[in-house]
Chain A
């Protein structure tokens, strides 16, 4: 019997032969990431271990993105400690405004095809877009890796998801991941690795592929892995990544489930208030009033997301009473959007553009708290009650295109029904 991508990557890092689902392996980790939301705990674990040296700290990125900029003394002091640690141990530092961990890791060339990557964040599954096995862990795990270069993993069972056909213009990877959440339920793929394959994946640009892998976190997945193709290799090379070691699954690999989704039949999706797996087609909730529109986060704050919004809002003005915030995922994304004139388009339309970071995903910087009865539509990944600091407000989740179309009209709107809403990036038809 053949092997899945997860079994091959974990096995290759644990001594050579592929591993089997259910095995526990101790594997060499290629690169690690710690962000400021977990760094205080991680540094406590480093102190507790008391190792004489941390030889793999140089293969670790310290990213100041969640508390960016820091809203209180505790967070500012955590940042200070992170800068000092990075200096002392040779870790790679990404400071306030550089961007979200899941964007700066690939942009910085820290990962490549076939890699085993860990990060102190559930959405560390994002790097699977580059044909890597990547998973979220905690401070103890990163401490172990900085000291020994290795970590223990239980090899996960895999679900193979084939996305056949082609997405219609105005429909994006976010609409696929929301469909998956509606179908499997939140945590419906708990412990599992996902393999996303098929024509609709091949047609996607890298930005959208990252959304596909990223949102697997809400499914509870341990990893989400895409195959590498010419687009993947070109992107990695352009960002200075190490030489790729692409991995594919064997035709006779063992899967716990196989799911086929016809991408051609999908319409834009939205997760309704409070529940990420209460997912319906946008046409079903068309007309739901909104007064906050948020574009950003590690799920949908990349250049193609900002382009979707600008295509819809060019020469337009967002609806009266709607507040809109756009947070580019990284400094590179911010600069690219500035060069293309997208930030001017969005600012003229009435949006506010923030410095790169985790932004308005969760109320930890305290710079966006919704009022009683407010309804936000957001391109983020979580919408549980109170996520933006007020139990009496609502968050609905959708693609950047749907968020922008909704900002334009003041109510949840199918992007395919507004001018510019069928913009498609370089996606092959």
Chain B
């Protein structure tokens, strides 16, 4: 996993429910590829058409609230979401991201706009939008969590470290 991410911002709002916006919980029989084509369209029309692999989602508070299907993270990985920066995350969603190798950064997002170029340094714990003079320090993830992310998620981590010992 790359600990330096530099890419374009796709801005979403507060309280995004990934079950209703990015899962098949209410679309029985639809596969991940179908849901990916319609992800977040209820809140950001044409999101899937505009989003390119390697780009970043920036969102407000409580991103991924509610029951939070792990499938949402599988779909975002399929879409190539490089990282999610949000004011805060739903507990379960945050966990699902770590478990599936999708970097998540909890950070003040004020003044960051759709289309901005954002730079994230996961190891040092910083979020930068140079064009706007924004440089914010964020708490680095605990080492145990970083090890899981570094392997691309918990399944890959356990295949390599079945005793949980990454040291």
Contacts and interface: CB of A to CB of B under 8 A. Distances in A.
Nearest to A141: B99
Contacts of B3: none
Contact of B158 (A41, A49, A186): A49
Interface in A17-51: 23-24, 26, 38, 41, 45, 48-51
Interface residues of B, number: 33
Contact of B153 (A26, A38, A140, A220): A140
B70 interface: yes
B148 A152 contact: yes
Contacts of A48: 155
A358 B1 CA distance: 40
A138 B96 contact: yes
Interface stretch (A142-150, A258-266, A406-414): A142-150
B34 interface: no
A50 B153 CA distance: 15
Interface stretch (B48-56, B61-69, B115-123, B130-138): B61-69
B95 A74 contact: no
B145 interface: yes
Interface size range of chain A in the complex: 35 or more
Contact of B69 (A41, A187, A191): A41
Interface in A139-166: 139-141, 143-144, 147-148, 150, 152, 154
B88 A190 contact: yes
A288 interface: no
Which of B88, B99, B142, B145 is the most central at the interface, judged by chain A CB atoms within 10 Å of its CB?
A: B99
Interface of B: 15, 26, 28-29, 62, 65-71, 88, 90-92, 95-96, 99-100, 142-145, 148, 153-155, 158-159, 162-164
Given A50-B159, A147-B162, 20 more contacts: A23-B142, A24-B142, A24-B144, A24-B145, A49-B158, A72-B28, A122-B66, A138-B69, A138-B92, A138-B95, A139-B70, A140-B70, A141-B99, A147-B158, A150-B164, A187-B15, A187-B62, A187-B65, A190-B91, A386-B26
Interface of A: 23-24, 26, 38, 41, 45, 48-51, 72, 74-75, 121-122, 136-141, 143-144, 147-148, 150, 152, 154, 186-187, 190-191, 220, 222, 364, 386
